Amino acid sequence: MDDDQSRRLLIIGGGAAGMSAASAARRLQADKEIVVLERGPNVSFVLCGLPYFVSGIVGHLESLIVYTPEYFRMERNIDVRTGCEVKRIDTGNSTVEFVDRATREKGAVSYGKLVIAAGAQPIVPGIPGLALRGVFALRSLEGGAVMKDFIARRPVRRAAIIGAGYIGLEMAESLKTAGAEVTMIEASDSVLPGSEPEIAALIEEELRRQGVELLKQQLALSLESNAEATVERVKTDSGEVAADMVLIAAGARPDAAIARETGIDVGETGGIVTDEAMRTSIPDIYAAGDCVEARHLLTGRPIFLPLGTTANKQGRVAGENACGGRAVFPGILGSLAFRLFDLEVARTGLSHDQAQAAGFAPISAIVRFPSRSQFYPNAETLTLKLVADRRSGRLLGAQMAGNDAVAKRIDVAATALHAKMTVSDLMHLDLAYAPPLGTVWEGIQLAAQELLRHPAAGS
Amino acid sequence: MDDDQSRRLLIIGGGAAGMSAASAARRLQADKEIVVLERGPNVSFVLCGLPYFVSGIVGHLESLIVYTPEYFRMERNIDVRTGCEVKRIDTGNSTVEFVDRATREKGAVSYGKLVIAAGAQPIVPGIPGLALRGVFALRSLEGGAVMKDFIARRPVRRAAIIGAGYIGLEMAESLKTAGAEVTMIEASDSVLPGSEPEIAALIEEELRRQGVELLKQQLALSLESNAEATVERVKTDSGEVAADMVLIAAGARPDAAIARETGIDVGETGGIVTDEAMRTSIPDIYAAGDCVEARHLLTGRPIFLPLGTTANKQGRVAGENACGGRAVFPGILGSLAFRLFDLEVARTGLSHDQAQAAGFAPISAIVRFPSRSQFYPNAETLTLKLVADRRSGRLLGAQMAGNDAVAKRIDVAATALHAKMTVSDLMHLDLAYAPPLGTVWEGIQLAAQELLRHPAAGS
């Protein structure tokens, strides 16, 4: 192994995880050779901003690019190569083979350490009509640009969204804001998988209030076209939905193909398996971001939940450790937030049902409380469901909806979950209060009071 | 000791702490005899709402009364006696002697357990002119009503506030909103004692922006009147301030007089000493709220900080334990929040200087970050200073200012302080993120990253 090879850090994927790894490595080692191979034309992109680009709230696609390839090359001395599709990892020779998508030329780069940050792919149901014009599945900036262009060129009067997870919900707001009538088609009996029923009910109420149609327990069977091969309607198992445009928002799966072909362990979730140091099962190869599965801090079980927050943390840990660091990524709580028109929704930890399934003995309380002192004008009503373990008294999860700092309030619960706090501990929290900013007892404490009335939860 | 006496719970003071104690006791024991002696005409009042009553944001003083004496009598079977001024606690006979302020009649109530929740009194500097018309010190609902009436009856064009702590600052907004030109007179060289200089600077900037004059390092020497014995100006050690009205906001001291006379231990802060169960040094006597000193959870030292959040928690603990419960109140972090016009300010834990004084080896980082994704419109810039201990890596404190969910963001730091988290732990927090609601790395994590670059803080 020559010197160059042993020193070079190679990263597959220039998204949040890959560029976090590259930047973390550069911070630790000023002279390390760092190469990033990215399939698309951009790196360091913020896919979670796409709904706001489609709606027009964000005017320029470039706003969703934190740093350009040029910036990384010039300012951080990171050799970013866009348009490079990785074909094979040769672990025997510590080499990655790729094809330049523009020239079709093949190339190879050797590595001392490798970080796989290949991201995720949209889950697309196997139904006819996916190739029609006007059918989209958002998983890249370029895809967002094409969709925005499609909307700009013709009046999209009716949009259908297949899937009512949080991205489907964000896109419902986005497309409605862009001027379309929106119908959501959801196969299950609830929006947002993993939601407490009381929170799901508030989401559905907000959809109704904003004039978004929600069809539950309907399965999309095919996408049908007009003469111009542009989508015209969605056929479902119980009818038809007229649509000038269809967005597939049925979730994502880890892009672990290259890892699998390399013989790297892939878990039951489909994500690459790593340890806390983000090491894969093959020496010198790390993985980070949407292509890996994480450990759930409460259940200890693997979970696949592709989020930018996790990708940034994991990338950083992988990049540091690839440079001899000793960083760890302990796992996730499933924390999540999104906005749906005038409703903020956020969660952390386990729902009542998830806690039950994980072997806990869950008890839960739901409270509705004002976002500021009751005497202070314009308080919003917030709804919080708190779940705890009856046996240990430990907090297990929180879900909240409303229109005032809901995500930040959930962060308090997330921090308490990290600290393995009990419901009693929550009552002792010295939280900051002023009449225009909150209530003397915060919602989490009001819910904790409720839970403490439950026999045996006060331990 | 007869049965009635051994069972009766007597509470001195009907504010937040006293009524929390009464209500907690009632929840535990449905048939307990509970008597509350309150000096004023109301109980269960929210003094922290007074600035918003004076400004007119809250229209009716009654809005600041959570429950009336009648409510407590009828709905909770709590014998609330208003207008009763306690004169003596006879510990030998377990009896409290009082005077009815209306009739001047004396009375006495025996007790099985006693909770002292006598509240606090404003600190008033010993200067001439305090008795003039137009001079106020807010520490009761009735005082607020008199002040509001004073403002309503004449045009108050110029108001002076002596003291630039958080109540002085809230009142600056209040009086400005009510139409007055406001001058604040502060003896020290900074607003808001205990503030980090970077946060104090933002407060001063907001005062300037809103046209409130701030005089620092000026000592009020006397209040001067016109012919009608109404205040006309404040003389200071370096000049004069014209003022139709003067508010003394120089802080508060615990109302521990009755405790001291009873021989109950009073600490160096002037507050009643209690243990974690809110027991005083004399058997069967508890104390709670603004009349007691609390333990600071980080320094272990006594601290006097009269806040509604603490009063509610302590009252609840005292009430439960007076009924045989085993609740504890471990202490406080000094968490605090207030709003000053368009600026939210919040803090928890120790400032850099306080940490130094307490024997820690503080390091600190200051970060300015957007309240939402940079690409999302209308992000506010928030400023956060984070303090940690160099030796242990432990978080010690956080102060923040800005205009988006600052108090709730500080609550995350407060929760981390309760859990004794290190700066490294903060980096692992799985916080909820969406572009309109926050940033991928929350401010506390950005500041933690800064601190981790400091040698030896990464432990």
Each residue's pLDDT tens digit, B140-162: 999 999 999 999 998 899 999 99
**Separation between Cα atoms, residue A258 and residue A285, nearest integer Å:** 12
| CA nearest neighbour of A451 among A381, A411, A398, A372 | A398
Nearest CA in chain B to A400: B432
| CA nearest neighbour of B64 among B82, B52, B46 | B46
- ipTM given for this complex: 0.96
Assign B456 a pLDDT band (cuts: 50, 70, 90).
Answer: low
Q: What is the mean pLDDT of residues B155-177?
A: 96
How far is the alpha carbon of B208 from chain A, nearest alpha carbon, in Å?
A: 22
Per-residue confidence (pLDDT) for residue A459, from 0 to 100: 40
Per-residue confidence (pLDDT) for residue A21, from 0 to 100: 98
Per-residue confidence (pLDDT) for residue B3, from 0 to 100: 47
pTM: 0.96
Question: CA separation (Å) from B296 to A124, A275, B348, B419, B421?
Answer: 56, 39, 11, 14, 16
CA atoms within 13 A on the CB side of B143: 18
Q: Is B234 exposed, middle or buried (0-12, 13-18, 19+ CB in 10 A)?
A: buried
Strand spans (E) along B230-269: 231-236, 239-242, 245-248, 252-254
Per-residue confidence (pLDDT) for residue B154, from 0 to 100: 86
**Separation between Cα atoms, residue A458 and residue B320, nearest integer Å:** 13
Task: Note whether A416 contacts B: Cβ–Cβ < 8 A.
Answer: yes
| CA nearest neighbour of B17 among B252, B275, B320 | B320
A104, amino acid identity: R
B225, amino acid identity: S
Active site residues of A: 48
Interface test with A, best of B328, B430, B437, B453 (most A CBs within 10 A): B430
How far is the alpha carbon of B293 from chain A, nearest alpha carbon, in Å?
A: 15
**Separation between Cα atoms, residue A322 and residue A313, nearest integer Å:** 14
Are the C-beta atoms of residues B109 and B95 closer than 8 Å to each other? yes
Interface test with B, best of A203, A408, A445 (most B CBs within 10 A): A408
Give me the residue from B63, B309, B416 closest to A375, CB to CB.
B63
Contacts with B415 from chain A: Cβ below 8 Å? 412, 415-416, 419, 421, 429, 431
B243, amino acid identity: A
Q: What is the mean pLDDT of residues B421-448?
A: 97
B437–A339 C-beta distance less than 8 A: yes
Q: Hey, which residues 173-232 in chain A have their CB within 8 Å of chain B?
A: none
Low-confidence residues in chain A, pLDDT < 50: 1-5, 457-459
Q: Which residues contact B443 (CB under 8 A, 6 or more apart)?
A: B367, B369, B382, B384, B400, B409
Q: Which residues contact A89 (CB under 8 A, 6 or more apart)?
A: A95, A96, A97, A114, A258, A261, A262, A285
State the CB neighbour count (10 A cutoff) for residue B327.
23
Residue A136's beta-bridge partner residues? A247
Q: What is the mean pLDDT of residues B15-21?
A: 97
State the CB neighbour count (10 A cutoff) for residue A194.
18
B288 has a pLDDT exceeding 50: yes
Nearest CA in chain B to A409: B408
pLDDT for B89-98, tens place per residue?
Answer: 999 999 999 9
- The angle subtended at Cα B251 by Cα B198 and Cα B268, nearest 5°, is 100
Question: CA separation (Å) from A312 to A68, A288, B193?
Answer: 17, 9, 38
Q: Which residues contact B30 (CB under 8 A, 6 or more apart)?
A: none
| CA nearest neighbour of A299 among A387, A386, A358 | A358
DSSP letters, A274-331, are: --TT-B-SSTTEEE-STTB-EEBTTT-SEE----HHHHHHHHHHHHHHHTT-------
Are the C-beta atoms of residues A13 and A98 closer than 8 Å to each other? no
Q: Among all chains, which residue has been given the structure tokens 């879900």? A: A399
Per-residue confidence (pLDDT) for residue A335, from 0 to 100: 98
Per-residue confidence (pLDDT) for residue A3, from 0 to 100: 47
pLDDT for A174-218, tens place per residue?
Answer: 999 999 999 999 999 999 999 999 999 999 999 999 999 999 999
Q: Hey, which residues 67-126 in chain B have their CB within 8 Å of chain A?
A: none
Task: Note whether A409 contacts B: Cβ–Cβ < 8 A.
Answer: yes
Nearest CA in chain A to B45: A375
Per-residue confidence (pLDDT) for residue B280, from 0 to 100: 98
Give me the residue from B57, B412, B418 closest to A377, CB to CB.
B57
Per-residue confidence (pLDDT) for residue B137, from 0 to 100: 94
A16–B440 C-beta distance less than 8 A: yes
A423, amino acid identity: V
Q: Which residues contact A166 (CB under 8 A, 6 or more apart)?
A: A192, A336, A338, A345
Task: Note whether B344 contacts A: Cβ–Cβ < 8 A.
Answer: yes
| CA nearest neighbour of A282 among A114, A148, A73 | A114
A52–B430 C-beta distance less than 8 A: no
Q: What is the mean pLDDT of residues B80-101?
A: 97
Per-residue confidence (pLDDT) for residue A227, from 0 to 100: 80
Per-residue confidence (pLDDT) for residue B86, from 0 to 100: 98
State the CB neighbour count (10 A cutoff) for residue A4.
10
Give me the residue from A48, A49, A414 closest to B430, CB to CB.
A414
Contacts with A427 from chain B: Cβ below 8 Å? 313
Q: Which residues contact A357 (CB under 8 A, 6 or more apart)?
A: none
How far is the alpha carbon of A415 from chain B, nearest alpha carbon, in Å?
A: 6
Task: Note whether A361 contacts B: Cβ–Cβ < 8 A.
Answer: no
